[in-house]
Structure 1
Amino acid sequence: MLAATILHSLSAVCVLLIVIGFGVFLARKGWFDAPSHRGIVSKLVNAALPCFLFYSVISKFSHGELYNLLKFAGLPFLTVGLNFLISVLFIKLGWVRPHMKGTFITAFTGATVLFVGVPLVQTMYGSNGIPYLLVYFFANCVFIWTVGIFNIQLDGARRGMTEEPKIFSVHGLKMLLSPPLMGFLIGLIVVLLSIPVPKFISQSTHTIGQLATPLALVFVGITVWQIGFEKLRKLPREVWLILLSCYVIRPITMYLCTMPLDMDPLMRKCFILASALPVSSVIAVLSKAYGGDEEFASEAIGASTVAMIFVLPFLLIAVNLVN
């Protein structure tokens, strides 16, 4: 059993690394030298994701199964909240420089659930695991566009670059309702209300959605090549704490919170895997827009993305050993 689990995990790692390596190869060949080239891949993934998420929900869950899933919908919010408190603790201990406190809090907890999580879960568990990933995605998305953006704006206010922020803003709420999240929510409504979906719509969303997984992995490969492995040589203490969060604190927190609960083992695995992902790239964009420490945010995103290549075999083996 143990040997089979390890072999399955390593096989999945090989698939992921080969497709990521393909992205690295294309970037090395100069196909994506201009920033706009990388942006095109990102836009294609973002365009395909709403279709992918919509089809994943309507095709994998019945009305009753969806109600069972929603019983555990609060769990990711709990673990996201605990990770937030741990990041505040590190700040109280004096381990984070004052000018980057808000950016640190957001990067410590906010993960790139879709761009990396979707390919990981799809490769490991097939499309059956995607709806579980989406529950964590929702909690993660709410955190980034409320608590996250608020704390980044606090950094800007401390540095005299922006005004004192509000915890809820019109812009934040608009961005919260992003196309991927809307695809997920529309799928939920269709299943909960038992609305029939015409075959041509389900097949179209399925076909378009199939672009998301390979393109997302190619995008990761392009990102890794452009960042380079040199990023891991001289990192500030705060970035090492972010790496500790991504690949140790977040997954262990999720594991401890799920173990007392009687839940589907696949749901538990997907929740743990969703929590152990690199820093969300949107945090660098928010830092630039609202006066946060953009350089630190970029370092955290780059280092956590590159580090994932080394952590991935151990992470997938560990998650698959969870019952």
Structure 2
Amino acid sequence: MTIEATNTIITLFVLAGFGFALKKLKVTDQRVDSFISTFLVSYIVPVTMFHTAFTSFTMEHLKVSWKGILIAASSMLIIIVISSSLSRMLRHSIKRGGAFIAMSAFSNTIFVGLPIITGLFGDEGVPYLLLYFMANTIMFWTVGNYLLSRTKTNGRFSFTVIRKLLNPAILGFLLGLAALFTEFPVPDYLLKSAEYLKDMMTPLSLIYMGSIIGALTFKNLGNPLDTILIIMFRFVVSPLIVILLFKLVPMPLVMQKVFIISAALPVMGQVSIVSGKYGGDSGFAAFMTAFTTFLSLFTIPLYFMLFTLL
């Protein structure tokens, strides 16, 4: 691993450690975490997506976009099939099984993925992360929402999923692409303002991540076997499937690296939220989000070192 990459990873640790210390010192609490989460998801992330789409995307990126989204979505479908089979073998209840499958298949591409990818690859990696994010979001709010909603609705598909797909991050990204294609004259002062807000994304996300880790408890651990299997899916099986798919469909090297890291990210935070909405075990999902986030601080550097073999 290069000195620059090593320094980047250490910096990520320091910022996450700062968030952890703030939680342990009781400077931050659940209310502060909620504010940071809302501020990032509803405001900073959409601005970041707009700025990135408008300034970083090119026709070359767009030519391979559909293939990248297809590869990412295919990897998630494969995980869903495998984890579904395991869930049946373990005789999970419907609510437990839905959460187990969703936690195994979907990545935390915003709070963890964006600062990690930006820190390791710079602006060059962000457009590829957005492709994985789009696949992750679409798959979660369709297949994932269906799996989690079975706890109350017996698996009926809801058309509110369409509204969920049009979340602020996706809208910001689409707006940036629209401005790019139409050559809309975005004023320099707006772009500069968006750039300032974008620069807040990485430190705030890492502080939030550290604060969540600081609240980690084992009271919601549940079945240790489920925990081990989800960890294996997130950090071993999912990135391995992406690697195998790239063997079948060669793509740019930077895309491969970004997708592998994205596939090896922690459990998606929305799983606990949606699981709680439909009467599932949101406590276990929240625990797994925090626990896998903690573990990712050690697994991400490992994958980055393994990139020398690609």
Into which bin does the TM-score normalised by the smaller protein fall? over 0.9
Residue 297 of structure 1 aligns with which residue?
285
By how many angstroms is 1:164 displaced? Answer: 2.5
Residue 180 of structure 1 aligns with which residue?
169
TM-score by length of 2: 0.92
Alignment of 1:57-136 (within 5 A): 57-94=53-90, 96=92, 99-136=95-132
Residue 140 of structure 2 aligns with which residue?
144
Residue 163 of structure 1 aligns with which residue?
153
Given that residues 220 and 287 in structure 2 are in contact (C-alpha distance below 8 angstroms), is that contact kept between their aligned partners in structure 1? no
Separation in 2, partners of 1:20, 1:71 = 34
Given that residues 247 and 277 in structure 1 are in contact (C-alpha distance below 8 angstroms), is that contact kept between their aligned partners in structure 2? yes
Q: 2:244 aligns with which of 256, 274, 280?
A: 256
Q: Percent identity?
A: 26
Residue 228 of structure 2 aligns with which residue?
240
Q: For residues 257 and 193 of structure 1, do their structure 2 counterparts lie closer, same or farther at Cα, with a shift above 3 Å needed?
A: farther
By how many angstroms is 1:322 displaced? Answer: 4.8
Given that residues 12 and 123 in structure 1 are in contact (C-alpha distance below 8 angstroms), is that contact kept between their aligned partners in structure 2? yes
> Which sections of structure 1, spanning at least 5 residues, go unmatched?
157-161
Q: For residues 322 and 174 of structure 1, do their structure 2 counterparts lie closer, same or farther at Cα, with a shift above 3 Å needed?
A: farther
By how many angstroms is 1:147 displaced? Answer: 1.0
Given that residues 111 and 275 in structure 1 are in contact (C-alpha distance below 8 angstroms), is that contact kept between their aligned partners in structure 2? yes
Residue 280 of structure 1 aligns with which residue?
268
Residue 310 of structure 1 aligns with which residue?
298
Separation in 2, partners of 1:71, 1:315 = 23
Separation in 2, partners of 1:99, 1:136 = 27
TM-score by length of 1: 0.89
Residue 321 of structure 1 aligns with which residue?
308
Q: Tell which deviates more after alignment, 103-112 or 255-264.
A: 255-264
Given that residues 115 and 206 in structure 2 are in contact (C-alpha distance below 8 angstroms), is that contact kept between their aligned partners in structure 1? yes
2:32 is the counterpart of 1:37: yes
Q: Tell which deviates more after alignment, 171-180 or 15-24.
A: 171-180
2:9 is the counterpart of 1:13: yes
2:205 is the counterpart of 1:210: no
By how many angstroms is 1:126 displaced? Answer: 0.4
By how many angstroms is 1:254 displaced? Answer: 0.6
By how many angstroms is 1:13 displaced? Answer: 1.7
Residue 159 of structure 1 aligns with which residue?
none
By how many angstroms is 1:94 displaced? Answer: 2.6
Task: Deviation per CA, 1:165-193: give whole Å up to 9, x if none.
Answer: 423x2332212211011111222233344
Query: Could you tell me which amino acid in structure 2 is paired with residue 62 of structure 1?
Result: T
Q: For residues 145 and 232 of structure 1, do their structure 2 counterparts lie closer, same or farther at Cα, with a shift above 3 Å needed?
A: closer
Separation in 2, partners of 1:240, 1:291 = 23
By how many angstroms is 1:96 displaced? Answer: 4.3
Separation in 2, partners of 1:321, 1:234 = 38
By how many angstroms is 1:301 displaced? Answer: 1.5
Residue 56 of structure 1 aligns with which residue?
52
Query: Could you tell me which amino acid in structure 1 is paired with residue 281 of structure 2?
Result: D
Separation in 1, partners of 2:250, 2:181 = 23
Q: For residues 298 and 24 of structure 1, do their structure 2 counterparts lie closer, same or farther at Cα, with a shift above 3 Å needed?
A: same
Task: Deviation per CA, 1:203-248: give whole Å up to 9, x if none.
Answer: 22111111111100000000011115x5798852111111101100
> Which sections of structure 2, spanning at least 5 residues, go unmatched?
none
Task: Deviation per CA, 1:74-101: give whole Å up to 9, x if none.
Answer: 1111111111111112123337455411
Given that residues 95 and 237 in structure 1 are in contact (C-alpha distance below 8 angstroms), is that contact kept between their aligned partners in structure 2? no
Task: Deviation per CA, 1:60-85: give whole Å up to 9, x if none.
Answer: 12234423334433111111111111
Q: For residues 150 and 188 of structure 1, do their structure 2 counterparts lie closer, same or farther at Cα, with a shift above 3 Å needed?
A: same
By how many angstroms is 1:122 displaced? Answer: 0.5
Paired residues, number: 309
By how many angstroms is 1:194 displaced? Answer: 3.7
